[in-house]
């Protein structure tokens, strides 16, 4: 039975859109939450989940769309207004104050007081009641929050939500910081909350959790709700993964010419491991070959790329480029050997957003044109302009701040950076994340062109279609293990999904 089936809609969002500096974070999200249900929001990294939460918690204003709260059209102008309306948010980075006691945290901002004098006794009494309601009556209200485990901090955060007249609690990946026992406990508390008529929006990308706790699911991909309010029971996992990872539009993938067996091995990864994240990853990439890593978020795929690149230090295993061993944990060694990485988080890991395009393009190689350490910006601009023309980067102004460009063009900046530097191995983490449909095809063609020119390429993508369409060979990864390595032409999306699901279940 679906809880709250007959319950009236508590929250209804229609056609919510939001963009930042011209980049669409949300492009039409519908969400319908009923009182007393656990409504799961499912989506890959960057799908727009956090933006959606921030709109609900009043931190952002949507560009367009409607929000109905308890049947009335409304706007949520500020975080304080959201709290007053009865919407509480439990962020991943818990917003509890470590130096204060549990009671002080719970009543922070709405203390029991007379003329500014705190009623500690009353606060402690109320705190005990609230903690008891959450099944944690054993916690002392006077305990300092800094001494609590992450799980108990969540309890404090929830008690704070309950201390106000909260109707909806948003939980942003609460299980990410918990162990199995604590997750079980969390689920009990969530049950407790819903039985009191409180609605919970539960965000996670762990499918098995959603199965256990969720009533209905909304799947978000590329800032759009792919499905809204699907019942958890009766929706097969494969359907969910497909909604989450499947393509929205037919993409044109460039033809694969095939890699001759005589092509030299450029990248040789042997027994690479990073404790607690992935284990025993071995593979080779030949010149001109594209190898794709398929797997869900959290499978370790980004970490594998970052470890090859030296941004993380491998616990064991080796990486060799053109037969030469790379020093572990040294990005410099990798770059000097001709390895380039286009990171998953373009803005926080890849670009100097305030700096002009040309300086971003030459970031790894500006020293090359310098004479006695004196920069040659004219040469850099010329080089950048060549790349701008070759990659059809728009707007084509080398002096425009990188942050003002669209996702697709920012991706091209990163590709241009490595083209200019000259790479033999290119590691691409989510190369089309946040890139709109039109630009994707261009980026696919670009990647293939790089491969045809002899670059060995490793691609990570959340979209299985993309991995299959781009790669010559595919490695399927789940929970930090390589499940299968095979020619992309010998495997299809269903088989990959099956493998991933078996891997997750194992």
Partner 1 sequence: MSEQAPTPAPAVVTAASPEAASPLRRFLSGGVGRNLGLVIALLLIVAAGAITAGDRFLDVNNFFTIIRFASIIGVISIGMTFVITAGGIDLSVGSVMGLSTIVATIAGVQAAADQSSWLLMVLVAMAVGAAAGFVNGVVIAYGRVVPFMATLAMLVAARGLAELISNKQTLIINVTPFKDFFRGDLLGIDWLIWIFAIAAAIGWFLLSRTTFGRRTVALGGNFEAARLAGLRVKRHTVMLYVLAGLAAGIAGVMMLGRTGVGTSTHGQLYELDAIAAVVVGGTLLIGGRGTIMGTVLGVLIFSTLTNVFTQNNLSTSVQAVVKGAIIVIAVLLQQRFAARGVRST
Q: Could you say which residues in the range 357-396 bind partner 1, by CB under 8 A?
A: 359, 363-364, 366-367, 370, 373-375
Work out whether 175 is an interface residue with partner 1 (CB under 8 A). no
Work out whether 234 is an interface residue with partner 1 (CB under 8 A). no
User: Which position has the token pair 């491969």?
Assistant: 451
Work out whether 311 is an interface residue with partner 1 (CB under 8 A). yes
Q: Which is nearer to partner 1, 14 or 400 (CB)?
A: 400
Tell me how far apart the alpha carbons of residues 19 and 8 are, in angstroms, rounded to a whole number.
31
Mark 394-413 with x for binding to partner 1 (rule: CB under 8 A) and - for no binding: ------xx-xx---------
Considering only 247, 327, 347, 495, the residue that binds partner 1 (CB under 8 A) is 347
Nearest to 37 by CA among 181, 230, 207, 185: 230
Encoding tokens for residue 136?
């944690």
Tell me how far apart the alpha carbons of residues 59 and 53 are, in angstroms, rounded to a whole number.
9
Q: Which is nearer to partner 1, 435 or 497 (CB)?
A: 435
Work out whether 238 is an interface residue with partner 1 (CB under 8 A). no
Beta strands per DSSP E along 295-351: 316-321, 324-325, 339-342
Work out whether 84 is an interface residue with partner 1 (CB under 8 A). no
Which range in 54-62, 124-132, 206-214, 231-239 contacts partner 1 by CB under 8 A?
A: 54-62
Work out whether 298 is an interface residue with partner 1 (CB under 8 A). no
Cβ 49 vs Cβ 244: under 8 Å? no
Q: Where are the alpha helices (DSSP H) in 164-318?
A: 180-195, 207-213, 237-245, 301-308
The residues, ordered by sequence, that sit 6+ positions from 339 with a Cβ below 8 Å of its Cβ are: 267, 308, 309, 321, 326, 423, 424, 425, 426, 427
Tell me how far apart the alpha carbons of residues 412 and 365 are, in angstroms, rounded to a whole number.
16
Tell me how far apart the alpha carbons of residues 96 and 156 are, in angstroms, rounded to a whole number.
8
Work out whether 452 is an interface residue with partner 1 (CB under 8 A). no
Q: Could you say which residues in the range 426-445 bind partner 1, by CB under 8 A?
A: none
Nearest to 480 by CA among 457, 459, 500, 451: 500
Q: What's the min distance (Å) between Cβ of 253 and partner 1?
A: 27
Q: How many residues bind partner 1 (CB under 8 A)?
A: 51
Tell me how far apart the alpha carbons of residues 169 and 137 are, in angstroms, rounded to a whole number.
21
Considering only 83, 200, 217, 457, the residue that binds partner 1 (CB under 8 A) is 83
Tell me how far apart the alpha carbons of residues 35 and 167 are, in angstroms, rounded to a whole number.
8
User: Which position has the token pair 């609590």?
Assistant: 148
Q: Which is nearer to partner 1, 213 or 341 (CB)?
A: 341
Q: What's the min distance (Å) between Cβ of 492 and partner 1?
A: 34
Considering only 129, 355, 386, 436, the residue that binds partner 1 (CB under 8 A) is 355
Q: Which is nearer to partner 1, 88 or 464 (CB)?
A: 88
Q: What's the min distance (Å) between Cβ of 501 and partner 1?
A: 33
Work out whether 2 is an interface residue with partner 1 (CB under 8 A). no
Cβ 94 vs Cβ 161: under 8 Å? no
Cβ 451 vs Cβ 284: under 8 Å? no
CA 425 vs. chain centroid, Å, equals 25
Q: What's the min distance (Å) between Cβ of 90 and partner 1?
A: 10
Encoding tokens for residue 90?
């439990």
Considering only 223, 350, 408, 480, the residue that binds partner 1 (CB under 8 A) is 350
For 33-60, letters b (16+ CB in 10 Å) and e give bbbbbbbbbbbbebbbbbbbbbbbbbeb
150-163 and 120-133 helices cross at what angle (nearest 10)? 110
Q: What's the min distance (Å) between Cβ of 66 and partner 1?
A: 17
Considering only 113, 142, 248, 336, the residue that binds partner 1 (CB under 8 A) is 336
Q: What's the min distance (Å) between Cβ of 326 and partner 1?
A: 13
Work out whether 505 is an interface residue with partner 1 (CB under 8 A). no
Cβ 424 vs Cβ 455: under 8 Å? yes
Q: What's the min distance (Å) between Cβ of 328 and partner 1?
A: 16
Considering only 309, 393, 406, 419, the residue that binds partner 1 (CB under 8 A) is 309
Work out whether 145 is an interface residue with partner 1 (CB under 8 A). no
Considering only 16, 56, 88, 186, the residue that binds partner 1 (CB under 8 A) is 88
Q: What's the min distance (Å) between Cβ of 281 and partner 1?
A: 20
Tell me how far apart the alpha carbons of residues 326 and 309 are, in angstroms, rounded to a whole number.
9
Encoding tokens for residue 440?
């994707």
Which range in 111-119, 131-139, 347-355, 483-491 contacts partner 1 by CB under 8 A?
A: 347-355
Work out whether 98 is an interface residue with partner 1 (CB under 8 A). no
CB atoms within 10 A of CB 286: 20
Considering only 381, 412, 417, 448, the residue that binds partner 1 (CB under 8 A) is 417
Which range in 56-64, 182-190, 195-203, 253-261 contacts partner 1 by CB under 8 A?
A: 56-64
Nearest to 447 by CA among 460, 436, 434, 437: 460
Q: Which is nearer to partner 1, 406 or 462 (CB)?
A: 406
Nearest to 391 by CA among 377, 408, 379: 408
Work out whether 17 is an interface residue with partner 1 (CB under 8 A). no
Residues that bind partner 1 (CB under 8 A): 19-22, 54, 57, 59-61, 78-80, 83, 88-89, 91, 95, 108-109, 309, 311, 331-332, 334-336, 341, 343, 347-355, 359, 363-364, 366-367, 370, 373-375, 400-401, 403-404, 417
């Amino acid at each position: 039975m679906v809880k709250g089936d007959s319950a009236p809609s508590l929250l209804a969002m229609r056609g919510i859109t939001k963009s930042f500096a011209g980049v669409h974070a949300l492009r039409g999200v519908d969400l319908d939450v009923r009182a007393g249900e656990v409504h799961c929001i499912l989506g890959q990294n960057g799908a727009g989940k956090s933006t959606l939460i921030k709109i609900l918690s009043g931190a952002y204003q949507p560009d367009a769309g409607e929000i109905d709260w308890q049947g009335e059209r409304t706007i949520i102008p500020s975080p304080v207004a959201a709290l007053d309306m009865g919407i509480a948010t439990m962020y991943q980075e818990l917003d509890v104050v470590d130096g204060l006691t549990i009671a002080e945290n719970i009543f922070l901002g709405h203390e029991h007081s007379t003329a500014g004098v705190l009623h500690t006794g009353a606060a402690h009494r109320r705190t005990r009641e609230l903690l008891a309601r959450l099944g944690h009556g054993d916690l002392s209200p006077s305990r300092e929050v800094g001494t609590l485990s992450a799980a108990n901090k969540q309890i404090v955060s929830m008690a704070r939500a309950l201390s106000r007249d909260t109707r909806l609690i948003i939980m942003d990946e609460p299980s990410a910081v918990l162990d199995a026992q604590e997750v079980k406990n969390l689920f009990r508390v969530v049950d407790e909350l819903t039985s009191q008529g409180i609605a919970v929006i539960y965000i996670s990308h762990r499918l098995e959790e959603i199965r256990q706790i969720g009533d209905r699911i909304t799947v978000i991909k590329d800032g759009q709700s792919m499905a809204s309010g699907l019942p958890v029971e009766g929706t097969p996992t494969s359907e969910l993964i497909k909604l989450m990872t499947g393509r929205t539009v037919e993409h044109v993938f460039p033809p694969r010419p095939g890699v001759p067996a005589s092509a030299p091995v450029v990248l040789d990864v042997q027994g690479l491991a990073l404790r607690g994240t992935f284990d025993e990853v071995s593979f080779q990439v030949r010149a001109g070959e594209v190898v794709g890593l398929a797997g869900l978020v959290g499978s370790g795929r980004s970490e594998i790329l970052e470890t090859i690149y030296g941004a993380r230090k491998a616990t064991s295993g080796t990486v060799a480029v053109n037969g030469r061993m790379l020093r572990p944990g040294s990005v410099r060694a990798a770059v000097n050997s001709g390895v380039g990485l286009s990171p998953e988080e373009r803005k926080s890991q890849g670009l100097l957003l305030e700096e002009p395009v040309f300086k971003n393009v030459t970031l790894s190689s500006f020293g090359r044109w310098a004479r006695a350490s004196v920069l040659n910006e004219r040469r850099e601009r010329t080089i950048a302009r060549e790349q701008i023309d070759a990659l059809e980067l728009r707007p084509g102004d080398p002096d425009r701040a990188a942050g003002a460009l669209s996702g697709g063009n920012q991706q091209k900046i990163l590709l241009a950076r490595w083209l200019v530097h000259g790479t033999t191995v290119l590691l691409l983490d989510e190369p089309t994340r946040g890139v709109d449909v039109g630009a994707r095809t261009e980026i696919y063609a670009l990647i293939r062109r790089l491969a045809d020119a002899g670059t060995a390429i490793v691609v990570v993508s959340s979209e299985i279609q993309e991995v299959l369409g781009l790669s010559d060979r595919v490695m399927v990864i789940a929970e930090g293990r390589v499940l299968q390595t095979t020619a992309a032409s010998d495997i299809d999306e269903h088989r990959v999904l099956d493998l991933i699901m078996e891997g997750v279940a194992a």
